[in-house]
Amino acid sequence: MAFTLIEVKTGRAVRVSLKPGFFSQALNSPFVQQRKAGVPPQDIPAAVADPLIEKVLSLPEENFLAIGAIVQLELPKRKGVFEAEPCAKCGELTFVDKLQETAVGRVCIPCAG
Ligand SMILES: [Zn+2]
């Protein structure tokens, strides 16, 4: 489980991943056991969830995170899209760059299937 954090202004980026040992341990936690059994996160008792949160907050980051070197990324400069049109099928107002051309007209992504 990894993600890349990017400072958009400067393009500085760093890859952060969960250390495998920590990740597999987390998957065996009582919290995940209950999630596996179908309990929604908000219904898991604080007595189960809180100690896990406390533990992560108190762990030194090197104990559970692998933090890569800082690299420089070239970010594509994209203009914001501020134009929207209703989907030809469901009528949902959709940003024009997300509309797809179909036989019935320009439709949103879910309608395009
Ligand atoms: Zn639609």
Nearest to 80 by CA among 65, 61, 67, 97: 97
Q: How far is the CA of 81 from the centre of ligand 1 (A)?
A: 18
Q: Which residues pair with 93 in a beta bridge?
A: 86
pTM above 0.75? no
Q: How far is the CA of 112 from the centre of ligand 1 (A)?
A: 7
- Convert the pLDDT of each residue in 48-80 to its tens digit: 999 989 988 999 999 999 999 999 998 877 777
> 66: burial class by Cβ within 10 Å (0-12, 13-18, 19+)?
middle
- Convert the pLDDT of each residue in 5-27 to its tens digit: 999 889 999 999 999 888 888 88
